[in-house]
Chain A
Amino acid sequence: MSPPILELRRLRKTYGSTVAIDDVSLTLGRGEFLTLLGPSGSGKTTTLLTVAGLIEPTAGSILLDSRPIDALPPYRRDIGVVFQSYALFPHLTAARNVAFPLEMRGVPRADIDRRVARALMLVGLPDQAARYPRELSGGQQQRVALARAMVFEPKILLMDEPLGALDRKLREQMQLEIMRLHRELGISVVYVTHDQEEALVMSDRIAVFNRGRIEQIGPATELYEKPATRFVAGFLGESNFFPATVAEATHGYCRLNGGTLRLRARDSGLPVGTRAVVAVRPERMQIADGAGDPGDENGVTGMLSDVIYLGRSRRYVVRLGDGQEVSSYEQVGSERVLGPGTPVQLSWRAEDATALPED
């Protein structure tokens, strides 16, 4: 395997006593699309701007193409950045904006014209070259910003919530465009977003940030199926959580007791006696009519408090005996319709439950 194009080693940035990022380490493979996902203030943008050279880290180092770039100013790093605000130069036309990085590199005029035309073609704006940014729509400005960040063929492309200002439909369209460009040009991308759906759609791998640290990094399916922390289980998709104590661990599974609950879940190496939470995805919970006995494990009973029709699916909100609310999704299409106030049972398979350390 070729060495990673980008490597962050234990990056740390503090502002006074505030820690913006701490112990952030990751690698980006050649041609890989890596998303930094997290709530606002979790350090993902700080990490990105540190890579761009716009923020100086307090500690740690950055290797681009196996060479440390910590001492390089942003204009010597050869990294393309797409900003959330687009940051297009208002006094220059779209074409001159795209030409800017080439002019800074002393590319001959004729080459500049050819490459600018090609870049604008790639982002689908061949006819808007002479327009000023204020004459372009948000989506078009975004495309110009993208063309400008790619035209000089940087080693990597960084994108900071580039679609944050666009409406939903356009955002989904741009997601596909960016993925197409990524595929066609084979660029390595670090993408920042707080939108977990966007992360799931676009990424080869996702790094989930929380409070300045990476909680987990891996392909979307791995993060979704095997979240390593309670935060990841709750932030990427939805999860129901049941507090419990590890009673026994065998063969990749563990038994846990939480009050009257008897639970069996995939083991994440928690020692016996640990306070834990068991995370279960709502769509993996089977809902059944009737009070009855929920079985000897992985089952709860409660009262249906809300049924929300979502088009593709129906969301059931069940209030358990102890007052906790649990969600369950069911594909629409089953003829059975339960109404609020109905006593119900929820059950799930042990392989759909994950025992996680309590925060």
Chain B
Amino acid sequence: MRAWRWLRGTVCVLVTIYMVAPLAIVVIISFSSAAFLQFPPPGLSLQWYHKAATNPAWLHSFAISVQITLPSALLATLLGTAAALGLSRGRFPGARAVAALLMAPMIVPTIIIAAAVFALAQRWGLYGTITGLVLGHTLLTIPYVTATTLTALETVDRGLEQAALTLGATPWKTFRRVTLPLMLPGVLSGLLFAMVISFDELIVSLFLSTPEVQPVTVHMWSDVRGDVDPTISAVATLLFVFSVVILLAEGALRRRNKPVETIMRPAL
């Protein structure tokens, strides 16, 4: 029994190290005072952050990433939410097929989507444009928004919507005043997920970008393959921090807005 517990503990620790170590090494190297990739670092310094922050190429790709992430996350949220509403509240033939189709980008290998998007983007003159990248990322992130919003909608009691109707609210007002406020945490979760996914996305971006229009991830990719410069570890750490912050925000949102349960206290 005791031995078993030891074994279990050891396995857990090893798996955790296996998962965290690469990340930890990257973060540690990003603070290195050495002039090249070296582990463990001889001393600490913020030089690589300074370099990343002053290098116009990195700044440019950061700006491109932001220009892609924000519009695509918003667009995906709009479309994904609309889709979730239709799937959850509407009744139409083929709803299941539509749902499956919407979720497809989560299952279809990204490389296939990337190739298809690449072909289309070239034909439509969207190759190497922000618009093309925004549309590509939107496609990838819609399923995440749809899923979180659908989950949020399940927790919104249909009875509340019916009550609103009997109280004189038109379907639109029912949506505005009852459904939307109650599903909003789910929509915001979807938005945050979409941002994280879009900011981290590499494959579709790789297919659609040119040296002039390349997001951070593509820039990192090409850097890694050329001269390896610890700046990349600083950039990677920043991306990591961005994701963690967004996910923490999402978690906080979820805790603050957990489905409101009716607390039944003893009579009056």
A residues with a Cβ closer than 8 A to B are 52-54, 73-75, 77-81, 83, 85-87, 89-91, 100-101, 104-105, 133-135, 137-141, 148-149, 152, 165-167, 169-170
Contacts and interface: CB of A to CB of B under 8 A. Distances in A.
B170 A134 contact: no
A54 B182 contact: no
Contacts, number: 89
B50 interface: no
A167 B231 CA distance: 68
17 contacts: A75-B165, A86-B262, A87-B159, A87-B163, A101-B167, A105-B168, A133-B260, A133-B262, A138-B267, A140-B268, A148-B167, A149-B166, A149-B167, A152-B168, A165-B264, A166-B267, A170-B267
Interface in B172-229: 173, 177-178, 181-182
B153 to A, nearest CB: 15
B163 A137 contact: no
Contacts of A74: 162, 165-166
Interface in B67-99: none
A167 B168 contact: no
A54 B162 contact: yes
Nearest to A133: B262
Contact of B168 (A75, A134, A137): A75
B182 A167 contact: no
A167 B267 contact: yes
Most chain A beta-carbon neighbours within 10 Å: one of B171, B263, B268: B268
A279 B159 CA distance: 41
Given A75-B166, A87-B163, 13 more contacts: A53-B166, A54-B165, A73-B165, A77-B166, A78-B168, A80-B166, A85-B159, A87-B157, A104-B167, A104-B169, A105-B168, A138-B267, A169-B267
B255 to A, nearest CB: 16
Contacts of A133: 260, 262
Contacts of A101: 167-168
Interface of B: 157, 159-160, 162-171, 173, 177-178, 181-182, 260-268
Contacts of A166: 267
Given A85-B159, A133-B262, A134-B262, A104 B168 contact: yes
Contacts of B159: 83, 85, 87
Shortest 3 CB-CB contacts between residues of A and residues of B:
A87-B163, A104-B168, A90-B260
A134 B258 CA distance: 13
Contact of B264 (A73, A83, A104, A138): A138
Contacts of B264: 137-138, 165
A295 B167 CA distance: 63
A78 B177 CA distance: 19
A101 B164 CA distance: 8
A100 B157 contact: no
Contacts of B165: 53-54, 73-75
Nearest to B263: A134
A9 B169 CA distance: 27
A73 B178 CA distance: 18
A141 B260 CA distance: 14
A206 B55 CA distance: 83
Nearest to A84: B159
A269 B266 CA distance: 52
